[in-house]
């Protein structure tokens, strides 16, 4: 008996796949305009920066929300750090990714979903650190001010809790489902200025 397909992940993959080409085409068009002597006007700079940010978000979402594929699918460290560097560029968040060279895509998916949860708790920015030991992952978000919805964070380790979820919190529900799918248990420790998670 085959496992029921993850329709949300398949939909995420499809959306990211369909959007990446037109956004890339816009980026190529801006590059051609710059090469053609148009100069880097404020308008072109705004378009170029917006396209780069959209491209980075889609690449990140493709991993966080998309289908994993084969159980043994891997991601190289340069690919992951490249996605994260582009995502954080020019923003109020910093990312320190301390992991081995080669990673399971399933594990990176969990880490990316956790990063989204940490971002939700740090609306004014902060620093995120991700470490992968021999058997466990540890992620930590540090910010001068945290905005924590206790119910959302509690649902990650307590399957009996089902809070109302809106579009801005959907990654919490997806993280909980993915943890269950991978038979992982998440430990959450929330303090005044930092959140520590491990799985």
pLDDT band at 132 (very low <50, low <70, confident <90, very high): very high
Q: Is residue 44 located within the same domain as residue 109?
A: no
Q: Is residue 81 located within the same domain as residue 63?
A: no
- Comparing CA positions, the residue from 2, 1, 4, 61 lying closest to residue 181 is 4
Q: What is the pLDDT of residues 162-175, one digit of tens each?
A: 898 999 999 999 99
Evaluate if residue 70 carries a pLDDT over 80.
no
Q: Quick one: pLDDT at residue 1?
A: 47
Q: What is the pLDDT of residues 75-92, one digit of tens each?
A: 999 999 999 999 998 889
Q: Quick one: pLDDT at residue 34?
A: 78
Domain holding 12, by residue range, is 1-67
**Cα gap 132→75, rounded to integer Å:** 14
Q: Is residue 132 located within the same domain as residue 171?
A: yes
Q: What is the pLDDT of residues 38-54, one digit of tens each?
A: 667 888 888 888 888 89
Q: Is residue 23 located within the same domain as residue 63?
A: yes
Q: What is the CATH number of the domain that holds 157?
A: 3.30.565.10
Q: Quick one: pLDDT at residue 170?
A: 94
Q: Is residue 122 located within the same domain as residue 194?
A: yes
Q: Is residue 9 located within the same domain as residue 43?
A: yes
Q: Quick one: pLDDT at residue 106?
A: 94
Q: Is residue 101 located within the same domain as residue 175?
A: yes
The answer to whether 156 and 179 are in contact (CB under 8 A) is: yes
| End-to-end alpha carbon distance in the chain | 28
The answer to whether 112 and 144 are in contact (CB under 8 A) is: no
- Environment class of 24 (CB within 10 Å of its CB; exposed 0-12, middle 13-18, buried 19+): middle
Q: Quick one: pLDDT at residue 22?
A: 87
Angle between helices 170-181 and 105-121 (to 10 degrees): 150
**Average per-residue pLDDT in the chain?**
90
Structural domains in the chain (count): 2
pLDDT band at 2 (very low <50, low <70, confident <90, very high): low
Q: Is residue 110 located within the same domain as residue 198?
A: yes
Q: What is the 3-state secondary structure (H, E, C) of 1-19?
A: CCCCCCHHHHHHHHHHHHH
Q: What is the pLDDT of residues 96-116, one digit of tens each?
A: 999 888 899 999 999 999 999
User: pLDDT: is 8 or 104 the higher one?
Assistant: 104
């Amino acid at each position: 008996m085959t496992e029921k397909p993850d329709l949300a992940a398949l939909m995420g993959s499809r959306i990211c796949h369909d959007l990446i080409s037109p956004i890339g085409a816009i980026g190529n068009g801006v590059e051609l305009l710059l090469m053609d002597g148009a100069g880097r006007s404020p308008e072109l700079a705004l378009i170029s920066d917006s396209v780069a940010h959209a491209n980075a978000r889609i690449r990140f979402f493709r991993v966080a929300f998309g289908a994993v594929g084969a159980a043994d699918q891997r991601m190289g460290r340069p690919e992951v750090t490249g996605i994260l560097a582009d995502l954080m560029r020019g923003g109020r968040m910093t990312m320190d990714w301390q992991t081995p060279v080669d990673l399971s895509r399933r594990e990176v998916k969990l880490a990316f979903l956790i990063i989204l949860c940490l971002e939700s708790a740090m609306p004014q920015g902060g620093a995120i650190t991700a470490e992968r030991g021999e058997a466990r992952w540890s992620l930590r978000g540090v910010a001068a001010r945290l905005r924590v919805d206790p119910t959302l964070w509690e649902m990650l380790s307590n399957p009996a809790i089902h809070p109302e979820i809106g579009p801005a919190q959907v990654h919490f529900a997806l993280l909980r489902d993915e943890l269950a799918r991978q038979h992982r248990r998440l430990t959450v420790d929330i303090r005044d200025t930092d959140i520590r998670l491990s799985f």
